């Protein structure tokens, strides 16, 4: 079977969708499928790349953001036209205006097409009717042969739009449990000592520094945490548009000395192994890769009760759920876990077991193979 993946940006451009697309593509290729990825040009990345049965084509695009879709779509359509006799299936990894002509062309030449939805609410597909020409785009998106829902929240959004229930495929994001796995106590202490933060409770966040992640709420909550447990430390790993503003806010709250900022983590697993608790204070989530990684590493989690968080953080079993924006509740949950190591250990063990059972990458890849086989034979 030959599968075409379409995604406007792809590693080395980093993001949740990009990493999931790369991981899935590699896994499918290792199972013997021929996988082609077509994407936009990326700095310091080759135009063409081969990784076994996986081939990546990066199309040149305009330096102007508004022009990129205009140049990307014709190249995609031309590529599909040239290879249509060899393609069994097309898989779109995100939604956008580029999807519309690709979906319509795929339907015209009778190649099955799948659309993956990774985000929820008005900021994603539910908000399309409120945008200019959004209803037209939505009508085309719903012509996809299957739509993949990564969480129950995404599934409910798709149903709300009237898409047939039998055509929705529930396939969550997966995590490589061979890479992301718990550290033993001696490893954890060694890593803490190497980073100069031994004998301290460590709370970790990894992800984008952007408004929807609720990081100002986290900093306000952290101020309450360190008032009670002054030796606690917070590690924030990531990049984003709010970075400078958040650093300034931490100084304003007089908690800057209790926070370690990491721009780029070349071995993110070490930070999960260093941490005692993972925290995610988002206002919306599809299904967080960071949350899955943290749980695979055996970390108890404090997360807001939004989107896919509720699928994997089972309150008082794998972690603690709090309402978004409730600063005192976030602080109380973190303090509770810091003060109760037995509870941390129990939640962490349960989190690891849940991820291995339901979200292990090998299982997720097999789910995709089964879906592809129903459409692409």
Closest CA to 148 of 2, 290, 308, 281: 308
Q: What is the mean pLDDT of residues 124-132?
A: 80
Token pair belonging to 152: 């129950």
Closest CA to 318 of 332, 301, 331: 301
How large a percentage of the chain has pLDDT more than 90?
77
Question: Mean per-residue pLDDT for 321-343?
Answer: 97
pLDDT, mean of residues 68-91: 90
Higher pLDDT, 62 or 115: 115
The distance of Cα 97 from the centroid of its chain, to the nearest Å, equals: 21
Encode pLDDT of 209-221 as tens digits: 999 999 999 999 9
Domain chopping of the chain, boundaries: 2-174+360-376, 185-358
Phi/psi for 368 (5° steps) reads -65, -40
* 62 strand-pairing partners: none
Identify the weakest region by mean pLDDT among 54-63, 80-89, 165-174, 328-337.
54-63
Q: How many CA atoms lie within 13 Å of 345's alpha carbon, on the beta-carbon side?
A: 5
Instruction: Look at the chain and count its residues.
Output: 377
Q: What pLDDT score was predicted for residue 65? A: 59
Q: Averaged over 324-352, what is the pLDDT?
A: 97
Residue 242 CA to residue 209 CA, distance in Å, equals 5
- In whole numbers, what is the pLDDT of the chain averaged over residues? 92
* Least confident stretch, 26-30, 194-198, 284-288: 194-198
How many whole angstroms separate alpha carbon 243 and alpha carbon 299? Answer: 25
- Quick one: pLDDT at residue 133? 84
Tokens of 282: 């988002």
pLDDT at residue 339, rounded to an integer = 97
322: left (phi over 0), alpha (psi -120 to 50) or beta: beta
| pTM: predicted TM-score of the whole model, two decimal places | 0.91
For 112-135, what is the mean pLDDT?
83
In which band, very low, low, confident or very high, does the pLDDT at 257 lie, cut at 50, 70 and 90? very high
Question: How many other C-beta atoms are found inside a 10 Å radius of the C-beta of residue 76?
Answer: 23
CATH domain 185-358 topology:
Rossmann fold (3.40.50)
**Pairing status of strand 34-40 against strand 113-117:** unpaired
Confidence of residue 192 (pLDDT cuts 50, 70, 90): confident
On the question of pLDDT at 236 being above 70, the answer is yes
Q: Exposed, middle or buried: residue 322 (CB in 10 Å: 0-12, 13-18, 19+)?
A: buried
Q: Do 355 and 312 meet the contact criterion of CB atoms below 8 Å apart? A: yes
Q: Among the residues of the chain, which ranges form H helices?
A: 16-30, 65-83, 99-108, 134-141, 152-160, 185-194, 215-228, 243-252, 268-274, 289-296, 309-312, 327-339, 341-358, 361-376
pLDDT of res. 69: 61
pLDDT of residue 67: 61
Q: Contact 9/16 with Cβ under 8 angstroms? A: no
Are 271 and 295 spatial neighbours (Cβ–Cβ below 8 Å)?
no
CATH code of the domain made up of 2-174+360-376: 3.40.50.2000
pLDDT at 249 exceeding the cut of 90: yes
Would you state the pLDDT for residue 62? 59
Mean pLDDT check: name the lowest of 60-64, 198-202, 273-277. 60-64
pLDDT tier, 349 (very low <50, low <70, confident <90, very high otherwise): very high
| Cα–Cα nearest to 268, from 245, 243, 246, 297 | 297
Residue 68: what pLDDT?
Answer: 60
pLDDT at 63: 59
Q: What is the mean pLDDT of residues 34-55?
A: 92
The answer to whether the 2-174+360-376 and 185-358 domains have the same CATH topology is: yes
């Amino acid at each position: 079977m030959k599968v075409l993946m379409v995604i406007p940006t792809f590693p080395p451009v980093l993001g949740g969708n990009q990493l999931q697309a790369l991981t899935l593509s590699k896994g499918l290729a290792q199972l013997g499928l021929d996988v082609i990825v077509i994407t936009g040009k990326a700095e310091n990345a080759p135009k063409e790349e081969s990784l076994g049965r996986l081939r990546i084509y990066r199309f040149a695009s305009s330096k102007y953001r508004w022009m990129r879709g205009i140049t990307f779509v014709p190249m995609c359509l031309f590529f599909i036209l040239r290879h249509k006799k060899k393609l069994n299936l097309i898989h779109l990894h995100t939604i956008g205006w580029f999807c519309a002509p690709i979906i319509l062309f795929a339907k015209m030449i009778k190649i099955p097409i799948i659309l993956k939805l990774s985000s929820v609410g008005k900021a994603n597909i539910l908000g399309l009717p409120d945008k200019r020409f959004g209803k037209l785009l939505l009508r085309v998106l719903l012509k996809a042969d299957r739509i993949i829902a990564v969480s129950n929240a995404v599934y409910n959004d798709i149903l709300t739009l009237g898409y047939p229930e039998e055509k929705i495929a529930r396939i969550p994001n997966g995590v490589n449990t061979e890479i992301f796995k718990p550290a033993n106590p001696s490893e954890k202490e060694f890593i803490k000592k190497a980073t100069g933060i031994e004998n301290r409770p460590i709370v970790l966040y990894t992800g984008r520094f952007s408004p929807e992640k609720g990081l100002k709420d986290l900093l306000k909550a952290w101020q309450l945490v360190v008032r009670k447990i002054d030796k606690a430390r917070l590690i924030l790993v990531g990049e984003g548009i709010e970075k400078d503003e958040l650093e300034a806010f931490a100084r304003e709250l007089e908690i800057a000395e209790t926070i370690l900022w990491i721009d780029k983590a070349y071995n993110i697993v070490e930070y999960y192994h260093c941490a005692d608790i993972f925290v995610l204070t988002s206002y919306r989530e599809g299904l967080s890769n960071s949350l899955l990684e943290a749980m695979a590493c055996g970390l108890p989690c404090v997360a807001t009760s939004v989107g896919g968080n509720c699928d994997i953080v089972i309150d008082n079993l794998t972690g603690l759920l709090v309402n978004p924006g409730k600063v005192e509740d976030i602080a109380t949950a973190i303090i509770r876990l810091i003060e109760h190591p037995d509870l941390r250990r129990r939640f962490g063990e349960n989190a690891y077991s849940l991820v291995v059972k339901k979200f292990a990458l090998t299982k997720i890849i097999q789910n995709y193979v089964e879906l592809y086989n129903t459409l692409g034979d």
